């Protein structure tokens, strides 16, 4: 395990209620290809901040990679709705593409 991922794990252990620490660890696990581990951390982060669009997108990508198209579609649809509500135009095109792949 690399040092950065270990630091992220330690941060979560020290601050388990911190959604940013959970996101950082989840993203680190995602980048390493540990999609189950990433999903666990990202779902905790999303539970603490339900309108976090980027986390919602990563959750969808985890489900997509893990072969769960229904969960991926639901996550991408929710992320698309958040992008519209939050006036983030850039992610809408990406989400449209991800939804078209489902």
Q: Specify the pTM.
A: 0.93
Rounded Cα gap, residues 11 and 75, in angstroms: 26
What token pair was written down for 15?
């601050």
- At 71, the pLDDT band (50, 70, 90 cuts) reads very high
Average pLDDT, integer, range 3-32: 95
Rounded Cα gap, residues 37 and 94, in angstroms: 24
- At 1, the pLDDT band (50, 70, 90 cuts) reads low
Can you list the alpha helix ranges (DSSP code H) found in 1-102?
3-14, 19-32, 35-48, 53-65, 69-85, 89-101
Q: Residue 9: CA atoms inside 13 Å, Cβ hemisphere, count?
A: 9
Domains of the chain listed by start with CATH number: 3-101 (1.25.40.10)
Tell whether the model's pLDDT for residue 101 goes beyond 70. yes
What token pair was written down for 23?
């996101």
């Amino acid at each position: 395990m690399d040092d950065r991922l270990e630091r992220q794990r330690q941060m979560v252990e020290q601050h388990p209620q911190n959604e940013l620490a959970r996101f950082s660890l989840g993203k680190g696990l995602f980048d390493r290809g540990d999609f189950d581990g990433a999903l666990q951390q990202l779902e905790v982060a999303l539970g603490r901040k339900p309108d976090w669009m980027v986390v919602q997108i990563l959750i969808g990508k985890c489900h997509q990679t893990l072969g769960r198209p229904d969960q991926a579609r639901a996550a991408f649809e929710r992320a698309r709705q958040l992008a519209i509500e939050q006036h983030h135009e850039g992610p809408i095109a990406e989400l449209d593409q991800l939804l078209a792949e489902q």
